[in-house]
Structure 1
């Protein structure tokens, strides 16, 4: 998670997608809280129940 946040800090991004658990994990990282979101145009989160086989 920390290395992913470091990559986001080095590389400006305009969109981010993921599941809710990813975004919760990111929000718990101090580095993520310090990112520059000026260029962000789209944030898409998806979550759905799944059936255990």
Structure 2
């Protein structure tokens, strides 16, 4: 099992690589990423509210 983790970890970009990748994006691409996160958070919030709201 640890071999699988090592292989997966080897293919994950480190923090420096992630930062470089973000710097290569233009403003429109960054806005699209942020909108995607906002949409995901809104959907998750709605699902949580649906489970916690009492009829």
- TM-score computed with the length of structure 1 as normaliser: 0.29
Structure that is richer in strand per residue = 1
Structure that is richer in helix per residue = 2
Query: Which of structures 1 and 2 has the bigger CA Rg?
Result: 2
